């Protein structure tokens, strides 16, 4: 399968714990996006990478969130001191050119 | 502003056509998209249309774009039970650094009954 992959698919954690998600984009896609989707809503933009450079972050991305793409390939999204409001589906997408974004299956986070 | 609106729910019978509507606000959007999401899954790109087009057909899917009214629709011909899912309309918006991000609607849940 050469699509976007994300790991883990599901994560349950206790409030206050740190979690890290991984996204592997489609090979040679230099642009990578993170979105968050809460129940009953459409995805909302969180952040964007072009190669290893993080070029934009949404206001939704508080100081507890950090994203990296160290070698311009896979990306990680870390949430520190999780809160119940962080419960959501975290989606990763990649694109070679910006016209069409291809999404991964998402990581569903539940914070108890 | 960035706002995409869709009706929440649509119910059709198998074999009928489904029409899902969407309105958007940013007149500078270059591309508009339709994505499909099945329960617990990520988003599957169905089709997209460039803003200088008014129609695009792809097998059972027809996209109509009225740029003047900022209205986008997705017609699914011969709807099947496997088409039951949530359908998201999205517009592309230029971010501060010139990249394109997607702004999604809240999704339309399509239920196809036998």
pLDDT digits (tens, 9 = 90+) for B17-36: 999 999 998 877 789 999 99
Please judge whether A56 and B40 are an interchain contact, meaning their C-beta atoms are less than 8 angstroms apart: no
- The torsion region of residue A47 among left (phi > 0), alpha (psi -120 to 50) and beta comes to beta
Tokens 């729910």 correspond to B9
Measured between beta carbons, the chain A residues lying within 8 angstroms of B97 are: 55-56
Confidence class for position B42, pLDDT limits 50, 70, 90: confident
d(CA B18, CA B74): 8
Give the pLDDT mean for A28-38: 93
Confidence class for position A38, pLDDT limits 50, 70, 90: very high
Give the pLDDT mean for B4-29: 92
Q: Are B15 and B79 in contact (CB under 8 A)?
A: yes
A96 interface with B at CB cutoff 8 Å: no
Q: Are B47 and B61 in contact (CB under 8 A)?
A: yes
| pLDDT value, residue A105 | 94
- pLDDT greater than 60 at residue B1: no
| pLDDT value, residue A19 | 98
Three-state SS for chain A is CCCCEEECCEEEECCCCCEEEEEECCCCCCEEEEEEECCCCCCEEEEEEECCEEEEECCCCCCCEEEECCCCCCEEEEECCCCHHHCEEEEEEEECCCCCCEECCCEEEEEC
Q: Which of A31, A42, A106 sits opposite B42 (nearest CB)?
A: A106
| pLDDT value, residue A98 | 67
Please judge whether A44 and B88 are an interchain contact, meaning their C-beta atoms are less than 8 angstroms apart: no
Tokens 């239920």 correspond to B111
Q: Are B93 and B102 in contact (CB under 8 A)?
A: yes
Beta-bridge partners for A4: none
Measured between beta carbons, the chain B residues lying within 8 angstroms of A50 are: 99
A41 interface with B at CB cutoff 8 Å: yes
**To the nearest whole number, what is the mean pLDDT of chain B?**
92
- pLDDT greater than 90 at residue A35: yes
A25 interface with B at CB cutoff 8 Å: no
Interface test with B, best of A30, A41, A42 (most B CBs within 10 A): A42
Confidence class for position A4, pLDDT limits 50, 70, 90: very high
Please judge whether B101 and A41 are an interchain contact, meaning their C-beta atoms are less than 8 angstroms apart: no
For residue B25, what is the DSSP state?
A: -
| pLDDT value, residue A106 | 95
d(CA B45, CA A93): 11
Which residue from B4, B7, B10, B8 is spatially nearest to B23, judged by alpha carbons?
B4
């Amino acid at each position: 399968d050469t699509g976007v992959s994300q790991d883990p698919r599901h994560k349950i954690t206790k409030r206050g714990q740190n979690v890290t998600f991984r996204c592997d984009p489609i090979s040679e896609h230099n642009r990578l996006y993170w979105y968050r989707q809460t129940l009953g809503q459409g995805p909302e933009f969180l952040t964007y990478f072009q190669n290893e450079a993080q070029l934009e972050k949404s206001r939704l991305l508080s100081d507890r969130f950090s994203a990296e793409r160290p070698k311009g390939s896979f990306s990680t999204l870390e949430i520190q001191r999780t809160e119940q409001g962080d419960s959501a589906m975290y989606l990763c997408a990649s694109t070679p050119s910006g016209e069409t974004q291809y999404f991964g299956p998402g990581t569903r986070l539940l914070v108890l | 502003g960035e706002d995409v609106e869709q009706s929440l729910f649509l119910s059709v019978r198998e074999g009928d056509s489904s029409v899902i509507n969407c309105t958007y606000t940013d007149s500078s959007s270059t591309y508009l998209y339709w994505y499909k999401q099945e329960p617990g899954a990520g988003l599957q790109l169905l089709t997209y249309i460039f803003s200088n087009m008014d129609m695009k057909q792809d097998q059972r899917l027809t996209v109509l774009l009225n740029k003047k009214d900022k209205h986008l629709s997705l017609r699914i011909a011969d709807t099947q039970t496997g088409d039951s899912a949530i359908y998201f309309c999205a517009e592309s918006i230029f971010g501060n650094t010139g990249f394109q991000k997607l702004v999604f609607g809240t999704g339309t849940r399509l239920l196809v009954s036998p």
